Amino acid sequence: MDSDPEYTEFLKDIVNKWIRMISDYLQKAIGSGQLKRNMDIQYVARRILMAYHGSITMWRMTQELRFIREMDDSLREIVEEYRIL
């Protein structure tokens, strides 16, 4: 992968599109009063993407559904800090 700059750029584009999509969703949640305005949207979007991707990768490698179920816990922990009660 590292030896093919074109493929690396292709993968970066995919990641950036995911982050942009998640960021847009977070921005809407902030606008509707569900999340605090002081959150670093890009940082939180990256953490969400990493939790999702890591869980899916572990599930695909092991076929253990616990990784999918535990993904819910991970995502909640990420967002909980910024949630407006």
Cβ neighbours of 3 (radius 10 Å): 6
Residue 47, domain member (yes or no): yes
Q: How confident is the model at residue 47 (pLDDT cuts 50, 70, 90)?
A: very high
Residue 25, domain member (yes or no): yes
C-alpha to C-alpha distance for 39 and 42, rounded to whole angstroms: 9
Residue 69, domain member (yes or no): yes
Residue 85, domain member (yes or no): no
C-alpha to C-alpha distance for 56 and 52, rounded to whole angstroms: 6
As given in the structure block, the two tokens for residue 68 are 């999918």
Answer yes or no: is pLDDT of 85 > 80: no
Number of domains in the chain: 1
pLDDT tens column, 14-36: 999 999 999 999 999 999 999 99
Q: Which string of DSSP letters, residue by residue, matches 39-70?
A: S-HHHHHHHHHHHHHHHHHHHHHH--THHHHH
Residue span of the structural domain in which 43 resides: 5-80
pTM of this prediction? 0.87
Q: How confident is the model at residue 3 (pLDDT cuts 50, 70, 90)?
A: confident
**Average pLDDT, rounded, for the chain:** 94
User: Does residue 80 sit in helix, strand or coil?
Assistant: helix
